[in-house]
Amino acid sequence: MKFETEAIHAGEEPKLEGAGTGDVVVPIHLSSTFARREVTKPTCGYEYSRQGNPTREALETRLAALEGARWGLAFSSGMAAETTIGLSVLEPGDHVVAGDDLYGGTWRLFERVLAPHLGVSVSYVDATDPERVADALTERTKLVWLETPTNPLMRLCDIEAISSIARERGVLTAVDNTFVTPYFQRPLALGADVVVHSTSKYLNGHSDSIGGAVMLSDEELHKKLKFNQNAVGAILSPFDSYMVLRGTKTLAVRMREHEKNAMRVAEHLEGHPGVTRMYYPGLPSHPQHELATRQMFGFGGMLSFEIAGGLTEACAFLENLTLFALAESLGGVESLTELPALMTHASIPKEEREKVGVTDSLVRISVGIENGDDLIEDLDRAFASLS
């Protein structure tokens, strides 16, 4: 089945046999516990909702189908998913190689939680060059952690090249696919071992649920992750599982619109006198446009740019927008904008973030699916109010 079809049907086929009721939409199974006939085994397969829940399982089947994985697991947040991966693949003394342009919360998890409490070390490298990843691998490296496109600089990592280098050394590759979703990029098909998502973003798509997901095809690792997810309790609620199931049904249509508007905004901003630098992989001027075309089926709805001036101009611009909400997060139907240096990436020390290019005048936009004319008009109005 093709993507659009899986996105609507996988995990949600109406049950017409036995005790089935023919629901076209999977019910929200709120029961925290499940009755059984015999002491020794659960009669209907379910025991307690932390271990397994029918609504969550429907979502997990859907998520696996979308990424072309054997298994999907739904977590209470993207960070809960990442934490569970860390606890499942890393032991004290282990080493991680991560890209140096990461979601701020991932950096915080590595540096403030996993490093001090699990005793692991993390090297941050410019993963746009697979050689740098190769050079950073040590005897103790267990995991390569990639985001592509990166956040917020929209740089790309070659998933196929890096996974193959890692695999040769017996190292797992995890890719955070939150930014472009499986509609535009399938890391597992390119050789990655694990895909991670914050479903709070495009997969749910309506900015009204926090959740996370892991998709993978390795049986051993799936077992370990599932065990640890239950052990730490990092599960998605039945209601949120329903929300994300519903969100995924329109993922394909939404992503096409996000991209259409993002391309339009990127082209408009690229020639704008108030903009000194554009970051969008769909623009032929993007230094990795060729890799983008090869690795992705589209370019997504996220972009960043440097505004002429500094922090003062950037703040004034953001505060002058009326349609674009000034807010963290991304991937909802509504357009959002933010200043990474003081918002999403504020937990990263100034020198660290400036080293990679997250300056005080860098503005990030999550382009929504409103009418493109209205978006351009709002941006132009905010620029005009600066002069």
Considering only 61, 88, 141, 198, the residue that binds ligand PLP (CB under 6 A) is 198
Based on CB atoms, which residue is closest to ligand PLP, 105 or 372?
Answer: 105
CB 177 to ligand PLP: min, Å = 9
Which amino acid does the sequence have at 167?
R
Nearest approach, Cβ of 200 to ligand PLP (angstroms)? 4
Interface residues for ligand PLP in 200-219 (CB under 6 A)? 200-201, 210, 212
User: Binder to ligand PLP among 78, 99, 182, 301 (CB under 6 A)?
Assistant: 78
E strand intervals along the chain: 71-75, 95-99, 121-125, 141-147, 172-176, 194-198, 212-216, 275-279, 302-307, 325-326, 336-338, 362-366
Contacting residue, 60, 94, 176, 257, with ligand PLP by CB under 6 A: 176
Rounded to whole angstroms, the Cα distance separating 333 from 208 reads 11
Tokens of 309: 């001036």
- Residues annotated as catalytic (active site), given as ranges: 50, 103, 176, 201
User: Can you state the percent helix, strand and coil of the chain, rounding each to 5?
Assistant: 40, 15, 45
Segment interacting with ligand PLP (CB under 6 A) among 50-58, 76-84, 244-252, 367-375:
76-84
Does 79 contact ligand PLP by CB under 6 A?
yes
Q: Which residues contact 227 (CB under 8 A, 6 or more apart)?
A: none
Q: Which is nearer to ligand PLP, 366 or 383 (CB)?
A: 366
Q: Does 100 bind ligand PLP (CB under 6 A)?
A: no
User: Which lies closer to ligand PLP via its Cβ, residue 94 or residue 176?
Assistant: 176
Q: Which stretch binds ligand PLP (CB under 6 A): 176-184, 186-194, 230-238, 282-290?
A: 176-184
> Cβ of 220: how many Cβ atoms within 10 Å?
7
Nearest CB to ligand PLP, comparing residues 79 and 255:
79
d(CA 141, CA 136): 9
Please list, in sequence order, all residues whose beta carbon lies within 8 angstroms of the beta carbon of residue 152, skipping any fewer than 6 positions away.
Answer: 101, 279, 302, 304, 340, 344, 345, 358, 362, 364
Pick between residue 175 and residue 314 the one whose CB is nearest to ligand PLP: 175
Residue 78: both structure tokens together: 């993207």
Contacts (CB under 6 A) with ligand PLP, residues 131-160:
147, 151
Binding site for ligand PLP (CB under 6 A): 77-79, 103, 105-106, 147, 151, 176, 178-179, 198, 200-201, 210, 212
